């Protein structure tokens, strides 16, 4: 089957596009969902059995890492390696092994331009942030975009369509999607469930003679009966203190602790080529010389990637992006990345007195850094305070339903990481918004939900505005973020991945469209035609561009809010460029420009 036959077979409306994360099957309705929905089967990882010479380098230049596997990112583990390409677009990218292109995804967001190659050994390689495609892949993408008249798409391909061989040129590295600079994001996955694996376990050669850095260690009281240095409060081993007329970092050798506690470590790795803070391979915690906890993320399913929020000190991370990886494991984490010897990572000793706590941190080349702390420990004689009774109880392994005052929230099992209580409040309407403000958030654990939950808001009947122009918004400080909203039976519904404050806003303002590098009626000399497109609230949803009445491909780059059209698509002489841009509630802007080439 050639790619043109495949394009014909795929010429159907796009429905249910893939997400970067695989979707966990959900229950139909919250009240009937009494059982826990299982995760997709996870392969056990035996690093010694992984092939070390099966995959070739996806780029020919020496491998230098700008990001390592499972680094802590906002709401997710980094799912592959970021390979440096000299800070420029255009480095050739090659197929790592024989196989076939099983999926192509083009998106303004996330990984940008993707290629998925499935190999005969049951593994799959993934290449992201590409600048362009090569050969038959380029032809396929071009024809698919024009057949469906859209830039972004996501399609699975059959095994006999686009075959590739090891070392075949498939693309050029770039900066597409949510990339912060030119690089190649490279992944290796199990093909049957997309469980992603650290590519360094497959023998990818690289240099790293520098050991990891331990920036700090932090101790936390486990409950109100515990104390650290005489206070029931968090404690840093290294803290900033005033010495004379200046402030210096002071690192303590010992600490006094009463009762149960747990530990956290802020650590990172660096290469000999860059000072950038990368993730480490493994963290080991020893108590009095015995192994107590091990943190290691050699592979993971995308269903579990948001659990990184439960493995770190999330308030600290939110405050200043310092990720302290914790020894304690919450029960709602179904695939924990921390192994603990006892008590879910909470620390206590069998005898009072001085004990030794030691961290050992390893990178992928086996370089190790150690730090110790003496702990003068004694058991607590005071009882822990009784749990708070304010709010509504929620179990991490049972569904939760809230239906009150025009607001409904349906939360699936394993959305929160431990039994908690939900704070719910209704506040008066704020200026510029419609209806009440609803606050929903856990009381004890402040990290985001593990998966999306549904909310519904009722619009007051006395509000005389077009219902199809309303959107749910999440209030943040003095601003807000619109949430993708559906109007169903007069109620506004949305799937949200945050707790916080929600209300309704009216969006009747159409997107703005402005030329960036040309003037209406003038000649075009640049390599591309650029327009800036922005929206005030619900966000850009659709756009289309026409030259002389015919649809033409325009690439949307949200990093610079630009629509980009190859100027070669303009014919010699005078051209009419028509641009249509719509936001998420259907407000549309249409502009016409006359261009000469």
What is the pLDDT, as a whole number, of residue 18? 34
**Is 281 in contact with 296 (CB distance < 8 Å)?**
yes
Euclidean distance between CA atoms 418 and 394, whole angstroms: 9
Cα gap 140→2, rounded to integer Å: 9
d(CA 587, CA 594): 24
pTM listed for this prediction = 0.92
Nearest C-alpha neighbor of 204 from the set 72, 94, 363, 51: 51
Class of domain 392-506: mainly beta
Distance separating alpha carbons of residues 27 and 182, to the nearest angstrom: 41
User: For 268-410, where are the alpha helices, taking DSSP H only?
Assistant: 308-311, 314-320
Q: Which residues contact 413 (CB under 8 A, 6 or more apart)?
A: 33, 36, 37, 395, 396, 397, 398, 399
- Asked whether the beta carbons of 524 and 597 are under 8 A apart, the reply is yes
pLDDT at residue number 467 = 87
What pLDDT is attached to residue 37? 54
Q: Which residues contact 539 (CB under 8 A, 6 or more apart)?
A: 482, 583, 584
CB atoms within 10 A of CB 421: 17
Q: Which residues does the chain have with pLDDT short of 70?
A: 1-39
For 25-38, give the secondary structure using H, E and C: CCCCCCCCCCCCCC
Which of 283, 278, 279 lies closest to 361 in space, CA to CA? Answer: 283
DSSP 143: H
Q: 570 and 529 in contact (C-beta within 8 Å)?
A: yes
Cα–Cα distance between 46 and 425 in angstroms, integer? 49
295-326 residue pLDDT tens: 999 999 999 999 999 999 999 999 999 999 99
Cα Rg of the chain, angstroms: 27
Token couple for 567: 């100027």
Q: What Cα–Cα distance (Å) separates residue 467 from each residue in 409, 488, 491, 510, 568?
A: 21, 10, 9, 16, 43
Tokens coding 207 = 């240099």
Q: Does domain 512-596 have CATH number 2.40.10.220?
A: no
CA angle 188, 51, 93 (to 5 degrees): 45
Domain 3-202 class, CATH top level: mainly beta
Q: Reduce the DSSP state of residue 63 to 3 states and report it.
A: coil
**3-class SS string, 237-250:** CEEEEEECCEEEEE
Taking CB atoms within 8 Å and a gap of at least 24, the contacts of 107-110 are: 107/152, 107/154, 107/177, 108/151, 108/152, 108/177, 108/556, 108/557, 108/558, 109/177, 109/178, 109/558, 110/20, 110/177, 110/178
Would you list the domain boundaries of the chain?
3-202, 213-378, 392-506, 512-596
pLDDT of the residue at 110: 96
The CA distance from 18 to 401, in Å, is 28
Nearest to 193 by CA among 45, 81, 409, 341: 45
What does each C-alpha distance from 162 to 95, 102, 116, 331, 566 come to in angstroms?
Answer: 12, 8, 11, 44, 26
């Amino acid at each position: 089957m050639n790619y043109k036959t495949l394009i014909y077979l795929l010429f159907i409306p796009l429905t249910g596009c893939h997400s970067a994360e695989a979707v966990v099957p959900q229950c139909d309705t919250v009240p009937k969902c009494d059982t826990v929905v299982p995760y997709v089967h996870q392969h056990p990882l035996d690093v010694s059995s992984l092939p070390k010479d099966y995959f070739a380098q996806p780029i020919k230049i020496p491998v230098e890492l700008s990001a390592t596997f499972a680094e802590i990112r906002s709401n997710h583990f980094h799912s592959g390696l970021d390979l440096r390409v000299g800070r420029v677009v255009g480095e050739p990218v090659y197929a790592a092994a024989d196989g076939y292109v099983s999926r192509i995804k083009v998106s303004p967001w996330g990984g940008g331009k993707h290629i998925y190659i499935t190999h005969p050994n049951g593994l799959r390689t993934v290449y992201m942030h590409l600048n362009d495609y090569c050969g038959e892949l380029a032809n396929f993408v071009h024809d698919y975009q024009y057949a469906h008249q859209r830039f972004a798409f996501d399609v699975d391909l059959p095994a006999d369509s686009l075959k590739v061989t090891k070392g075949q040129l498939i693309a050029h590295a770039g900066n597409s999607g949510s990339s912060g600079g030119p690089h190649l994001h490279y992944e290796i996955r199990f093909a049957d469930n997309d469980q992603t694996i650290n590519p360094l376990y497959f023998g990818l050669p690289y240099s790293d003679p520098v050991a990891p850095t331990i920036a700090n260690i932090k101790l936390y009281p486990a409950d109100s009966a515990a104390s650290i240095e005489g206070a029931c409060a968090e404690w840093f081993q290294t803290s900033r203190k005033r010495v004379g007329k200046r402030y210096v970092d002071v690192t303590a050798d010992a600490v006094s602790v009463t009762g149960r506690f747990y530990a956290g470590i802020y650590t990172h790795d660096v290469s000999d080529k860059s000072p950038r803070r990368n993730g480490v391979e493994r963290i080991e915690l020893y108590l009095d010389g015995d192994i107590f906890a091990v943190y290691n993320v050699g592979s993971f399913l995308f269903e579990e990637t948001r659990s990184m929020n439960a493995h770190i000190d999330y308030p600290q991370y939110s405050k200043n992006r310092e990720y302290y990886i914790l020894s304690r494991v919450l029960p709602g984490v179904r695939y924990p990345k921390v192994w603990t010897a006892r008590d879910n990572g909470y620390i206590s000793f069998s005898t009072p007195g001085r004990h030794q706590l030691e961290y050992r941190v390893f990178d992928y080349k086996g370089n190790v850094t150690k730090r110790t702390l003496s702990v003068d420990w004694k058991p607590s004689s005071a009882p822990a305070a009784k749990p708070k009774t304010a709010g509504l109880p929620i179990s991490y392994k049972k569904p939760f339903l809230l239906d009150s005052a025009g607001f409904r929230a349906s939360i699936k099992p394993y959305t929160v990481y431990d039994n908690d209580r939900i704070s719910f409040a209704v506040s008066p309407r704020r200026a510029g918004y419609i209806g009440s403000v609803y606050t929903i958030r856990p009381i004890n654990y402040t990290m985001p939900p593990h998966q999306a939950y549904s909310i519904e808001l009722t619009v007051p009947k006395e509000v005389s505005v077009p219902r199809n122009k309303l959107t749910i918004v999440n209030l943040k400080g003095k601003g807000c973020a619109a949430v993708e909203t559906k109007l169903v039976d007069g109620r506004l519904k949305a799937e949200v991945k945050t707790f916080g404050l929600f209300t309704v806003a009216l969006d009747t303002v159409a997107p703005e469209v402005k030329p960036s590098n040309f003037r209406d009626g003038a000649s075009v000399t640049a390599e591309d035609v650029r327009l800036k497109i922005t929206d005030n609230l619900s966000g850009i949803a659709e756009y289309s561009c026409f030259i002389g009445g015919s649809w033409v491909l325009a690439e949307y780059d949200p990093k610079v809010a630009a629509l980009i059209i190859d100027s070669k698509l303009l014919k010699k002489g005078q051209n009419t460029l028509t641009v249509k841009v719509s936001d998420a509630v259907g407000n549309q802007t249409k502009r016409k420009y006359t261009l000469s080439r």
